[in-house]
């Protein structure tokens, strides 16, 4: 069933961009191809030094959707997204990175799920792609959309059975306003994870559609492909989440306290093993207090995490080798 589009309802898509002249036009084209037409796009140029802004400025007059183009000095993706949030006029919000792609049915299906179920949030499946080619092993549609309770969704997100990258959800704006949820400023990494967790803390029911409607680009020059000192600052956000759940979701805080930071440290160690020399990786192990964290994960529900935690306990170097071999086989630096 397709719900008729209400002319008074507008979906706002917030797109920060920085030095993506080779990619952003394809992202804009995926907006143009949406079957749902009642939406706007807020584009925030985060001080690009290439021709990204010129590409966008040239494209927008030809497009059929409403748009706003905003500029700021280079301040980071969180500042850009927050600025976009101050400019929206829609009832529902979507955040899309400037090199990712939406299925033509993305807005239509996501919006219809929200209206049909009177929900505050809907999540879709996604696929990775690289050099414009899909990487096959990813989320696929296996059954109809389902309605998940809040605690169930929190646990699934913690275990990793549901993954929620920044472009894979649509939320009702009043949720962010009610709980004063913004993106954490001053972080190059994990600000999206921090944002999503706080949203999940306050939704009663969420529609989860496994259909891959969102396509996540993997490229060597992107922020997520790099490993540097800034990545380690994410632990501050993870500890902030421990306090946030203690205040707002006592029914979940115990599990997050045991596994949340530990699971994040595991991901950092895995990425460090894939990206750094062994000497550099070993230094990260010490700084992250990783032995203690890995011990917490020996009974983690995801066997890949628990198994590798046992490997780490046996030998830091063995973990390092396993991560590098797996990355080489899969072409990725994370599970």
User: What string of H, E and C letters represents the secondary structure of 118-143?
Assistant: CCCEEEEEEEEEECCEECCCCCCCCC
Buried/exposed code over 281-294 (b: 16+ C-beta within 10 A; e: otherwise):
bbebbeebebeebb
Average pLDDT estimate for 322-333:
78
d(C-alpha 335, C-alpha 330), whole Å: 9
pLDDT in tens, 14-52: 999 999 999 999 999 999 999 999 999 999 999 999 999
**CA distances, 153 to each of 159, 165, 249 (Å):** 10, 14, 13
Residue 6 pLDDT exceeds 80: no
For residue 200, the surrounding DSSP H or E stretch is helix 191-200
pLDDT in tens, 171-200: 999 999 999 999 999 998 999 999 999 999
With cut-offs at 50, 70 and 90, classify the pLDDT of residue 90. Answer: very high
Provide the pLDDT for residue 13: 98
Mean of pLDDT over the chain: 90
Residue 3 pLDDT exceeds 50: no
Provide the pLDDT for residue 137: 44
Provide the pLDDT for residue 335: 40
DSSP helix/strand/coil, 62: helix
pLDDT in tens, 258-301: 999 999 999 999 999 998 999 999 999 998 888 989 999 999 99
d(C-alpha 234, C-alpha 266), whole Å: 13
Q: At what angle do helices 234-248 and 191-200 cross, to 10 degrees?
A: 10
Residues 6+ apart with CB under 8 A from 137: 330
CB 42 within 8 A of CB 72: no
Residue 2 pLDDT exceeds 50: no
CB atoms within 10 A of CB 203: 18
Provide the pLDDT for residue 88: 95
Domains of the chain: 11-224 (3.90.550.10), 227-330 (no CATH)
C-alpha 90: how far from chain center: 21
Provide the pLDDT for residue 332: 54
Whether pTM > 0.75 for this model: the answer is: yes
pLDDT in tens, 97-115: 999 999 999 999 999 999 9
d(C-alpha 148, C-alpha 320), whole Å: 37
Provide the pLDDT for residue 289: 86
DSSP helix/strand/coil, 169: strand
- Measured in degrees and rounded to the nearest 5, phi and psi for residue 44 equal -120, 115
């Amino acid at each position: 069933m397709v719900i008729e589009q209400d002319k008074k309802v507008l979906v706002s898509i917030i797109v920060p961009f920085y030095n993506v002249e080779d990619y952003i036009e394809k992202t804009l084209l995926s907006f143009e191809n949406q079957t749902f037409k009642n939406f706007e796009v807020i584009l925030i140029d985060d001080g690009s030094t290439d021709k990204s802004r010129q590409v966008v400025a040239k494209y927008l007059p030809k497009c059929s959707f409403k748009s706003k183009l905003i500029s700021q000095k280079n301040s980071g993706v969180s500042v850009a997204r927050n600025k976009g949030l101050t400019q929206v006029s829609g009832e529902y919000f979507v955040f899309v990175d400037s090199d990712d792609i939406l299925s033509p049915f993305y807005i239509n299906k996501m919006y219809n799920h929200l209206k049909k179920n009177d929900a505050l949030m809907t999540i879709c499946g996604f696929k990775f792609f690289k050099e414009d080619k899909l990487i096959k092993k990813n989320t696929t549609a296996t059954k109809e959309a389902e309605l998940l309770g809040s605690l169930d969704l929190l646990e699934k997100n913690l275990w990793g059975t549901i993954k929620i990258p920044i472009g894979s959800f649509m939320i009702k704006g009043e949720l962010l306003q009610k709980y004063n949820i913004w993106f954490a400023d001053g972080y190059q990494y994990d600000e999206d994870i921090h944002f999503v967790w706080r949203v999940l803390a306050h939704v009663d029911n969420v529609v989860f559609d496994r259909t891959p409607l969102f396509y996540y680009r993997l490229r060597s020059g992107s922020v997520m492909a790099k490993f540097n000192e800034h990545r380690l600052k994410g632990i501050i956000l993870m500890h902030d989440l421990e306090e946030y759940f203690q205040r707002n979701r006592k029914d979940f805080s115990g599990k997050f306290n045991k596994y949340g930071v530990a699971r994040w440290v595991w991901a950092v160690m895995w990425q460090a093993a894939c990206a750094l020399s062994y000497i550099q990786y070993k230094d990260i192990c010490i700084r992250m207090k990783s032995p203690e964290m890995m011990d917490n994960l020996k009974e983690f529900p995801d066997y890949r995490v628990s198994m590798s935690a046992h490997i780490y306990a046996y030998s830091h170097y063995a973990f390092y080798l396993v991560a590098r071999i797996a990355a080489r086989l899969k072409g990725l630096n994370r599970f």
